[in-house]
A and B are shown apart, each in its own frame.
Chain A
Amino acid sequence: MYNNIRELLDMCESEDMPLWKAVVENEKKLSDTSEEQIFETMAKRYEIMTAAAKRQLGTSPNPSKTMINGLAKGQFVHAQTGGLSGSFLNRVMAYALSCSEVNASMGKICAAPTAGSCGILPAVMVGVAEERMLDQDTVYRGLITAAGIGAVITQNATVSGAEGGCQAECGVAAGMAAAAVVEMLGGTPRQSATACSLALVNVMGLVCDPVAGLVQIPCAQRNASQAVNAIISADMALAGMPCIIPPDEVIDAMYQVGRMLPCALKETALGGIAATPTGKKIFRSFFSD
């Protein structure tokens, strides 16, 4: 079948099949399952993603719960005014923030690919599906595309913040979501892969620096901004922009950068904004009692 993006694209192009279909064929063999079953499971996962993307849109700030409680509502209200970047992008950000709030407050989420980055793919999928009035099957095919790309990155690099920094968690989530958008809007498999590469290039080197070690700040903001990264990367690919560096080389570069990052910048809360005076103060207020 395939072991990297190049082989995946070769398979799509030589057999004239869409990217999602190649991923389904691999999954059928790997998990001894049927296409119908794959779509059914994907539908259940999407239901959980959608619920998380919407749950916090009307919830007022309550700092006693989490540090990020109320962010989604603020962004959603702002979206109704159109904001500067338009109501669509503001809505997408609100959906991503909602997922992050649900996760931080011990609600139910679907890791995509991780819990810390669980807002990006749902925000993009729900937002684009609404904006373009896409039917459910198109969304599921997008999710399969995203997951197929994510599986290659999981196998050949890493999606762990502790191993590769935020670029490996939120960056990969953005890459997966970008590929999904291209697939849903009728782009080619190659354009999907390009969109993923562009998203990763845009975020190369981003560190994982959670304040007090909690999955809240800057994780919520990174979910919102990487959801937007996914959409603009998809737009660049759909415009025909090439990514001069092939996808597998971009993925490997991300992995190498992750390995080069010092431990202080990989989820340990010892560097970045976690290590600022205010970050340290918040840490003490949580864990000093």
Chain B
Amino acid sequence: MDVSIFHVLGPVMIGPSSSHTAGAAKLARTARAIAQKPFHHVSFGLHGSFAKTYKGHGTDKALVAGALDISEKDERLTDSFELAKKAGLDYDFYETDLGDVHENSVKFTFAFEDGTIMEVVGSSVGGGEIVIRKINDFAINLSATLPSIIIKQYDTKGVLSDITRVFAKHDINIATMSVSRTTKGEKALCIIESDSPISDAVGDQLREVKNVIDVMILNLISEEDEDV
């Protein structure tokens, strides 16, 4: 039997819908973690079922809560609009067509203090589970159920072996690894999922690897690890 009993009796969450409320909050919280630096505005582009039914399921409140790093299990989720006001975070919602993606998908646009923006597209795929599909122009497939690291690098020979060497040195097992690029020889994205949390020291060392441009570490706590 491959299904955990705590997957059946769970998740513990704020209602009413695991996909439209809990999953939406988790998706926004993951997108926030990918954004990495402080942002003052976030736009939520709602696709499919999210665009049609978000009000009745509190999807809007859940998304704002996630953008504030409030978990899908935290009762403050319901007050997220007021909490955003206090935190000085602006937001807006609009309906959009993201093409051939899951019914419950969102395009996040984070606006940073320095005038730059970042776009993240993700889906709430049911039962509170999520998948990140796109970071800026890079198509990816990240469920964030394991500690993950996202590395932006130049698409050159040898860069991946330099990256994996850092993992070996820190005795971290790589569970999955995927690479995507927009154009040959230009920027590429490498996503590595690991069985154990990834320390900042690993991130620092990866940043020193030749041809690595940027490193993001996502140690999002999975449900089983949380105190519920």
Contacts and interface: CB of A to CB of B under 8 A. Distances in A.
A107 B75 contact: yes
Interface in B1-58: 1-18, 21-22, 52-53, 55-58
A144 B8 CA distance: 10
A116 B16 CA distance: 7
Nearest to A38: B5
Nearest to A103: B15
Given A27-B4, A213-B56, A108 B75 contact: yes
B126 A214 contact: no
Contacts of A112: 8-9
Contacts of B13: 108-111, 115
Nearest to A46: B9
A104 B57 CA distance: 8
Given A114-B18, A144-B5, A152-B1, A213 B53 contact: yes
B17 A154 contact: no
A1 interface: yes
A45 B61 CA distance: 24
Give the size category of A's interface with B: 35 or more
A3 B2 CA distance: 8
A106 B55 contact: no
B17 A115 contact: yes
Nearest to B11: A111
A117 B67 CA distance: 28
Given A41-B6, A103-B16, A115-B18, A30 B58 contact: no
Nearest to B72: A108
B55 A287 contact: yes
B15 A215 contact: yes
A103 B22 CA distance: 11
A23 B6 CA distance: 12
A110 B10 contact: yes
Contacts of A108: 12-15, 73, 75
A102 interface: yes
A270 interface: no
Contact of A147 (B6, B16, B52): B6
A214 B55 CA distance: 10
B124 to A, nearest CB: 13
Nearest to A113: B8
B78 to A, nearest CB: 5
5 contacts: A109-B14, A115-B13, A115-B15, A155-B3, A215-B16
Given A27-B5, A106-B58, 16 more contacts: A2-B1, A44-B228, A45-B6, A103-B16, A104-B16, A107-B14, A108-B13, A109-B12, A110-B9, A110-B10, A113-B8, A114-B127, A115-B13, A116-B17, A151-B8, A287-B53
Interface of B: 1-18, 21-22, 52-53, 55-58, 61, 73, 75, 77-78, 126-128, 224, 227-228
